[in-house]
Chains A and B, each alone.
Chain A
Amino acid sequence: MSETQQITRLTMPKWGLTMTEGTVVQWLVGEGEEVSKGDEIIEVESEKINNAVESPASGVLRRHVAQEGDVLPVGGLLGVIADASVPDSEIDAFVEGFRESFVPQEEEAVSSEPETVEVDGREIQYLKMGEEAATPLILIPGFGGDINIFVFNQQTLSAERPVYAIDLPGHGGSSKDVDGGDLAFFVRTVAGFMDALGIERAHLAGHSMGGLVAAAFALEHTDRVVSLTLISSAGLGEEINGDYVEGFIAANRRRQMKDVLGLLFANPELVNRQLVNDVLRYKRLDGVDNALRTIAENLFPGGHQANVLDLGSLRVPVLAVWGSEDAIVPVSHTENLPEGARVEVIGGSGHMSHMEEAGRFNRIISGFLSEAER
């Protein structure tokens, strides 16, 4: 299965720790059509969510090796991309060679698993990916979210630097006690996390409430922040979808939760049963309901944001990424950013642009982080 410069394989991606196989939903590009590197080429369904796989190279999509409805292990051959000049016989030989030598990865071979570290007496769960000796990136999820929301981003971004995704207190696998549940508490937690892991300076990227935490951290500890990325972030204006916040707290049944989670995406169809089940499993843990209510009362009282930050004095590069259809925090909040902040609005995606348009999102972040380091 030697890969030449002319022939590139398109394989089943691995989205998240638990993914071992994926189902082909549909081809987005026909056999014989030209593709550019980064084009969405095929839609794949994992047990969590559907997403598009991007072309790893430019050329012609010569073969649909996998057909719609096929279930392939991670790393299995979906298709073949090659220049139009490569003869069919070579493509056939390549596919044949792949089939003969391909061995699905064993589940045990998973390289990174979540770890925990104690911060101020609480267990904080985090996932580290990437070993490069470079300034790390810390990803901070939002209200009700956990490290899994970065499933389409973390691995890609870790090619250039270590990337940590953390579960804030009250969330994911971290302790459910949130103290007063105010902004200062979360800022202290992030500082304590960096201290505990010996991270002096980092790029911070936060989604929604996690963006608020990242921004507040940057204001207080500017010397520890290399750059700040705000993804559909709280903290830039008063409006927030109070029905979402309340609905998320109240939902304890699949159907309610599916409707509430649908608000996060431009295309609510992306919410499948597994995603709903995972969120319900989290919400049913003792202490979560209390944690979420405490946080909401502090940060989003009466369906408004209590903390609107002035980032005008902030002397670090700022990037804001927003989905044009964001139904939780309005895209108009990007207007409140200081001059010089870079703003990227991703059309056709909602509050979860990092999941809905992962490829584009990753390229934007990756470019921004590299520039910020110059």
Chain B
Amino acid sequence: MARSITFMQAINEALAQEMERDERVIVMGEDNAGGAGAPGEDDAWGGVMGVTKGLYQKFPGRVLDTPISESAFIGAAAGAAASGLRPVAELMFVDFFGVCMDQIYNQAAKFRYMFGGKAVTPLVIRTMYGAGIRAAAQHSQSLYPIFTHIPGLKVVVPSNPYDAKGLMIASIRDDDPVMFFENKVLYATEGEVPEEPYEIPLGEAEYVREGDDVTIVAIGRMVQMAQEAAEALADEGIECEIVDPRTTSPLDTETIFESVENTGRLVVVDESNPRCSLAADICAQVAQELFDDLEAAPKMVTAPHTPPPFSPVLEDLYVPDAERVAAAVREVTGAGAKA
């Protein structure tokens, strides 16, 4: 039976159900147990936002608080994965990847390839991304394109609670290292989620909305912006199709191409900075493969090429919103002035 729970609860439930199913699954990170297990700390924090709250009580000994040393515990998680466990490590903010990147891209991502398939690395790194909570330039970036660039890593960017649970379970069961990106603004979003465990295959996009006039590919939280824009545009007689890739690596280009072949127009909404972004990548692939099907040049809607601002006023302008998406759609459909 499905019931309505939050994005955060969906991830927590996925972790709990997989820990229940498979004792090799462990959870580790800064404050993941939050001091639970220590005297007087039975209802402690589960990570900085509370995503892993309650897991320690259910699985004592399998939820580990780590020192504030990403280079140490991400490396430990990669090693544990290569030697038989299935760790889910929390890199609190993806902005901190700089201190543990070698462990991710030159170790975990390479094991299967360099050991001729004899080693697997069933590692999941959960990490928060995105602007919108006044956390400034060092805690607000959308850096999934950097990881998407690296062969050997899978990259998941869910947009809603149903997908978050199914993709987390699939990530844990996958034998390759997975970067799991959680937009902090989405944590309180509610949606229908089945109680039972289920898997959503990594590499399958979802049609969020069907329409014939323009394809909007939107990633993570940007799916909401695209939906808002599509509602408004429907009143103007423009029917948008929204495709949510759900994973940026592997990327379901088949579904994206299928949609663009039908609509002939593409807008990609990506919260990252524009250069070498998912938006740039998707526009390039569509231009290369479907040039003759296109009725207009593909359009990117992204953050500007600056760090996320600390000023609330500027931060609100920084993240793409429904109005900017709608303006881009009007431009590619010829319904509005050049933005």
Enumerate chain A interface residues (CB-CB to B < 8 A).
Answer: 114, 116, 125, 173, 176, 252-254, 273, 277, 281, 284-287
CA distance A178 to B204 in the complex (A): 29
- List the A side residues contacting B210 at CB < 8 Å: 273
Top 7 A-B pairs, shortest CB-CB distance: A286-B197, A284-B198, A285-B198, A285-B196, A173-B1, A284-B199, A273-B207
* Given A273-B210, A284-B166, A285-B194, A116 and B1 contact (CB-CB distance below 8 Å): yes
Q: Residues of B contacting A284 with CB < 8 Å?
A: 166, 198-200
Q: Quick one: closest A residue to B166, CB to CB?
A: A284
Interfacial residues, chain B to chain A (CB-CB below 8 A): 1, 166, 194, 196-201, 204, 206-207, 210, 255
* Cα separation A176 to B196 with both chains bound (whole Å): 10
| Nearest opposing residue in chain B for A272, CB measure | B210
- Does A253 contact B204, Cβ atoms closer than 8 Å? yes
Complex: chain B residue closest to A273, CB-CB: B207
Does A125 contact B197, Cβ atoms closer than 8 Å?
no
26 pairs from A and B in contact (CB 8 Å cutoff):
A114-B1, A125-B1, A173-B1, A176-B196, A252-B201, A253-B201, A253-B204, A254-B204, A254-B255, A273-B207, A273-B210, A277-B206, A281-B194, A281-B198, A284-B166, A284-B198, A284-B199, A284-B200, A285-B194, A285-B196, A285-B197, A285-B198, A286-B196, A286-B197, A286-B198, A287-B196
In the bound complex, CA of A281 to CA of B199 (Å): 9
Q: Which residue of A lies closest to B199 (CB)?
A: A284
Given contacts A252-B201, A273-B210, A286-B198, 15 further A-B contacts (CB under 8 A): A114-B1, A173-B1, A253-B204, A254-B204, A273-B207, A277-B206, A284-B166, A284-B198, A284-B199, A284-B200, A285-B196, A285-B198, A286-B196, A286-B197, A286-B199
* Across-interface contacts of A116 in B (CB, < 8 A): 1
| Residue of B with least CB distance to A114 | B1
- Distance in angstroms from A339 CB to nearest chain B CB is 45
Residues of B within 8 A of A253 (CB): 201, 204
Rounded to whole angstroms, the CA-CA distance of A286 and B204 in the bound complex is 18
CA distance A254 to B166 in the complex (A): 16
Cα of A287 to Cα of B1 in the assembled complex, Å: 14
Q: Give the docked Cα–Cα distance between A173 and B1 (Å).
A: 6
B91 to chain A, nearest CB (A): 28
Expressed in whole angstroms, the minimum distance between the Cβ of B203 and any Cβ of chain A is 10
Closest to B210 in A: A273
Complex-state Cα separation, A114 to B194, whole angstroms: 14
User: What residues of A have a CB within 8 angstroms of the CB of B200 in the complex?
Assistant: 284
CA separation between A176 and B194, bound complex, in Å? Answer: 13
Inter-chain CA distance A281–B198, complex, in Å, is 8
From residue A360, how far is it (CB to closest CB) to chain B in Å? 30
Task: Output the nearest chain A residue to B2 by Cβ-Cβ distance.
Answer: A173
A345 to chain B, nearest CB (A): 35
Chain A residue numbers with a CB within 8 Å of B1 are 114, 116, 125, 173
Q: What A residues does B198 contact at CB under 8 A? A: 281, 284-286
Bound together, the chains give a CA A116 to CA B2 distance in angstroms of 13
Specify the chain B residue showing the minimal Cβ separation from A125: B1
| Residue of A with least CB distance to B206 | A277
Complex Cα–Cα for A254 and B206 (A) = 9
**What A residues does B204 contact at CB under 8 A?**
253-254
For residue A253, give the distance in angstroms from its CB to the closest CB of chain B. Answer: 7
Compute how far the CA of A116 lies from the CA of B195 in the bound complex, rounded to whole angstroms. 14
Docked Cα-Cα span, A254 to B203, in Å, equals 12
CA distance A273 to B243 in the complex (A): 13
- Find chain A residues with CB under 8 A from B201 CB: 252-253
Report Cα–Cα, A281/B207, bound state, in Å: 14
The complex places the Cα of A277 from the Cα of B198 at a distance, in Å, of 14
> For B196, what are the chain A residues with a Cβ–Cβ distance below 8 Å?
176, 285-287
Please measure, in the bound complex, the distance between the C-alpha atom of A239 and the C-alpha atom of B290, giving whole angstroms. Answer: 45
Residue of A nearest to B1 (CB): A173
Complex alpha-carbon distance, A116 and B206, angstroms:
30
Q: Which residues from chain A contact B255 at a C-beta distance below 8 Å?
A: 254
